[in-house]
Amino acid sequence: MAHKAGSADLPLHSGHVPKWLADRMTRLGAVISEAIVHHYGRDELLRRLAHPFWFQSFGAVMGMDWHSSGITTSVVGALKRGLEPLSSELGIHVCGGRGAHSRRTPRELHDIGARVGFDGAELAAASRLVAKVDSAAVQDGFDLYLHGFIATDDGHWAVVQQGMNGDRRQARRYHWLSEGLTSFVDAPHAAIAGEPQGEIVNLADRRAEASRRGQLELLVSLGPDRIMREMRGLSPAGDAPAAAPPTQPLLPHLVMPAHHDARRRRQPPAAARDVGRSSGCRPKGFCRTTA
């Protein structure tokens, strides 16, 4: 089934990618993806896209060196444009996108499945479940607005989706991969990591299994009035604490700073400045040598 492969926190910036850069990212992203598929296979491309650090580096190599939330939108969009003409050759299909495009993901998967032979309904259900887990089961203050679903002809897939927290001017990217664990709701995330932002409700954690089961039983067997009576009858103290569950390993989690460390003027390192002074070059620049 699926497992969460990692996450990334990015500063939330506005603006748009100029056409010349979008075109460059489309061409370069397609060429790099094609090389990975030919040399290592389609599943390896999915694994790399599902790694938050590799995805971030991939976007920078494609030309989006600004480390804001826009790198997710631009990379997913560039791959969707660049790989669509190569989909029959590579067996890779990029669905979804930002806003209204994300809501068209199930329909796109149905159409592609009917054309190439995988179960489009099953992948559409996976798309909805992944989005639901990161929006409802994991309540961390980020509202999803981008959902990219990358599928292969074999029915394997990766998901890159992103949410925003407008008050904190921050975005969080979530990565999923269709190999690993066997449940969407029982520890699909090995961990949720990030800067402290208050309490997080994570019903997909293995330690929340009793809570999930109890909520389902209440929904099936009781009405709203009975649920309220049960809640009022709960004792806030005096219950024996449950045994602590084993800790879970951490997933890759990328945190990018709010600033972008770009300088108008590049300064040489101290050693180069010293060499420049001793050889008669200007202290503020590099020496130019000839063979």
Instruction: Report pLDDT digits (tens) over 33-82.
Output: 999 999 999 999 999 999 999 999 999 999 987 778 889 999 999 999 99
In 195-233, which positions are buried (b, 16+ CB within 10 angstroms) versus exposed (e)? eeeeeeebebbbebeeeeeeeeeeeeeeeeeeeeeeeee
- pTM of the full structure: 0.74
Average pLDDT estimate for 227-238: 68
Candidates 186, 170, 159, 197; CA nearest to 52 is: 159
What tokens appear for 231 in the block?
């809640």
Residue predicted with more confidence, 176 or 226: 176
**Do 153 and 88 contact (CB within 8 A), yes or no?**
no
- The pLDDT value given to residue 193: 43
Please report, as a single letter, which amino acid is at residue 13: H
Task: Name the least confident of 72-86, 166-180, 213-227.
Answer: 213-227
Which CB contacts under 8 angstroms, 24+ apart, belong to 180-183? 180/1, 180/2, 180/3, 181/1, 181/2, 181/3, 182/1, 183/1
- Tell me the C-alpha distance between 47 and 101, whole Å: 23
Query: 56-70, 85-99, 197-211, 254-268 — which one is most confidently predicted on average?
Result: 85-99
Average pLDDT estimate for 3-7: 75
Please report, as a single letter, which amino acid is at residue 288: R
- The pLDDT value given to residue 37: 97
- The pLDDT value given to residue 238: 47
286 burial type by CB count under 10 A (0-12 exposed, 13-18 middle, 19+ buried): middle
- Tell me the C-alpha distance between 233 and 2, whole Å: 38
- The pLDDT value given to residue 83: 97
Average pLDDT estimate for 134-163: 91
- Tell me the C-alpha distance between 186 and 205, whole Å: 6
Residue predicted with more confidence, 195 or 134: 134
Task: Name the least confident of 87-91, 97-101, 197-201, 258-262.
Answer: 258-262
pLDDT of 284 over the 70 cut: no
Strand spans (E) along 48-156: 92-98, 138-139, 143-152
What band does 288 get if pLDDT is binned at 50, 70 and 90? Answer: very low
- The pLDDT value given to residue 270: 59
* Cα Dmax for the chain: 87
Candidates 80, 35, 72; CA nearest to 175 is: 72
Residue predicted with more confidence, 234 or 144: 144
Average pLDDT estimate for 210-218: 78
- The pLDDT value given to residue 114: 96
Count CB neighbours of 151 within 10 A.
Answer: 30
pLDDT of 213 over the 50 cut: yes
Mean pLDDT, the chain, whole residue set: 80
At 42, give phi and psi (nearest 5°): -65, -40
What band does 197 get if pLDDT is binned at 50, 70 and 90? Answer: low
- The pLDDT value given to residue 66: 75
- Tell me the C-alpha distance between 261 and 259, whole Å: 6
pLDDT of 280 over the 60 cut: no
- The pLDDT value given to residue 155: 94
What band does 237 get if pLDDT is binned at 50, 70 and 90? Answer: low
Which residues, 6+ apart, have CB-to-CB distance to 139 below 8 Å? 200, 201, 202
